[in-house]
Amino acid sequence: MAVVNQIEKKIVMTTWDVVKYQILTHCYISNTPVSEADLNCLTFLALEGEQELTSFCNKVNDKNIFSSSQSARNSIAKCEKKNLITKEGKNKKRIKIHPDIKIVSSGNILLNFKVLSLAS
């Protein structure tokens, strides 16, 4: 029988941090590179919920996540290609976090990850 070294950590995070951690973990496991600004943009979108694209880009610019709303729009296009965001509509496009990621962003949130590495 293999001996397993187990580490258990318990911490309390803000809602922003726990949502960001979920997105970061998804990106790490799926080997999807994202910048810190992209990560903050995705976190903001997860917390705000489905949004109209132009107004969301303006909000991201107002929060100083990106230096301009066009930079936010470029980031969103990049995240859409990486299947992190979905866009719907023709004239006033609406964006949201891709449902396959399964991000929980409201209420009490407990993350329980169990990761195992077996030595050969």
Compute how many other C-beta atoms are within 10 angstroms of the C-beta atom of residue 100. Answer: 10
Tens digit of pLDDT for each residue in 9-59? 899 999 999 999 999 999 999 999 999 999 999 999 999 999 999 999 999
CATH C-level class of 15-101: mainly alpha
CA 49: distance to chain centroid?
A: 12
CA 94: distance to chain centroid?
A: 17
- What pLDDT, on a 0 to 100 scale, did the predictor assign at position 1? 60
CA 44: distance to chain centroid?
A: 8
Extended beta strands in 2-78, E state: 51-52
